[in-house]
Amino acid sequence: MLRNLLLVDDQRDILRLLRSTLDTLKNKDIQFYEAQSGEEALLESSRHKIDMLITDYKLPGMTGVELMHKVRARHPEVKVVFITGMTERKMREEMLNTGAFAIFDKPIPMADFLDSVERGLGLVQTIFPPEVAASGPGEEAQSHTKLSDLLANFRQDFNADAVFLLNDRGLINARTGNLYDPSMEVSLISTLMSIHSTSLKVARLNHQESIESYHVFDGGDHDLLFIPVTPLYALLVAGKGLANEDQILDTVRGLLSLRSQVEKALASMGVTGELKFKTAPAAAPPVDATPKKNTDQLAKATPSPEMEALLKQAAGEKSQEKYTDDFWDTAAHDLGRKSVNPEVISLEEAKKMGIIPGGQ
């Protein structure tokens, strides 16, 4: 199904950047329209059905929020993505309160941007695909349902906004709820999984049998708690007040209990939680450890005619080398007695001729 996407920014360079970035999706089901002002954008929206509006907040003639309301009057189901160079929190909340699908500050994080476009348009996700859940009646589907139930129960008990089970590739294996600003999921999860990888290295260097590390980020859009479950999985919890002084201990206890239950569920799916250490490679055998029997066999072996010819040629070359060495030795000896230049005499000849003292 063809989807129409309207790009609006008063800077032509930004429009080109957005268009070239979206072209990397290589999706033939997207039709692009561009405008450099709110008025041009309204004209395009009157000509075509718009499925997604990507607009700068600050435009000539009107704001991006005003444009959004006018476009929605014609296309109520339109998804809106705001781009802004302003960092005021109040303005960001204003855009989120309008029901915007995502908001991006300049410079635009392109991975998050592409992920939001794919999710907003309902396309097959190529930038940040979620882990495909098993849908059949088998044991794998039941295990995945159990994991989702565990996360949902924890979220309800602790009034969290979102709980994610992430794997080591940065994909969401199971989830419940959403972040305050879902447009930042890609960058946030990618960074957290880098922490997971580092925790794994530290645990190995410390010779731990399991990963025992906790990461708490207090304040901001959410309180974030991140905890490894196994070398392949980690839990992320987001919510308000979870890291407050009077709440943090209960949150961590609950999170440890959740980790234990998730670890058991993963074990039932065949996922191990063991940390495997690399052992030093076995020492290589000495070079001279070749059995003597083989050496004797080689010594007794009769060379082939081709080998004999090569040996004779090598002997001839060796003789030639010796002849060459003897020649240069003789030449060097004669050079000390007689000059090779007919116009120059040697020191010995000069003495014999009485040119210098010491002669006859």
Residue 27: inside a domain: yes
Instruction: Give ∠ CA 27-118-8 in degrees, rounded to 5.
Output: 85
* Domain of residue 156, residue span: 139-268
Give residue-wise pLDDT tens across range 115-165: 889 888 888 766 666 554 444 445 555 666 688 889 999 999 999 999 999
pLDDT at residue 189, as a whole number? 85
Q: What is the domain-level CATH number for residue 194? A: 3.30.450.30
Residue 210: inside a domain: yes
Same domain, yes or no, for 263 and 151?
A: yes
> Which residues, in sequence order, are CB contacts of 273 under 8 Å at separation 6+?
210, 229, 230, 231, 263, 266, 267
Give residue-wise pLDDT tens across range 57-87: 989 889 999 999 999 999 999 999 999 887 7
Give residue-wise pLDDT tens across range 279-294: 444 445 555 544 454 5
Same domain, yes or no, for 152 and 258?
A: yes
Give residue-wise pLDDT tens across range 216-260: 999 888 899 999 988 889 999 999 999 999 999 999 999 999 999
Which stretches of the chain are DSSP H helices? 12-23, 38-47, 64-74, 89-97, 110-121, 139-158, 185-205, 248-268, 292-300, 305-337, 347-352
The pLDDT of residue 167 is above 80: yes
DSSP state of 186: H
Q: What is the domain-level CATH number for residue 10? A: 3.40.50.2300
Same domain, yes or no, for 148 and 201?
A: yes
Residue 280: inside a domain: no
Cα 103 from Cα 101, distance rounded (Å): 7
Number of domains composing the chain = 3
Same domain, yes or no, for 154 and 228?
A: yes
| Mean pLDDT on 306-313 | 61
**Burial letters for 133-164: b for 16+ Cβ neighbours within 10 Å, e otherwise?**
eeeeeeeeeebbebbbebbeebbeebebbbbb
Quick one: what percent of the chain has pLDDT higher than 90? 31
> Which residues, in sequence order, are CB contacts of 121 under 8 Å at separation 6+?
3, 5, 30, 51, 52, 79
User: Considering 121, 154, 188, which residue would you say is the last residue of a domain?
Assistant: 121
Residue 228: inside a domain: yes
Same domain, yes or no, for 105 and 24?
A: yes
Query: Comparing C-alpha atoms, which of 221, 154, 149, 158 is closest to residue 188?
Result: 221
Same domain, yes or no, for 94 and 193?
A: no
Of residues 277 and 60, more confidence is placed in 60
Same domain, yes or no, for 106 and 145?
A: no
The pLDDT of residue 108 is above 80: yes
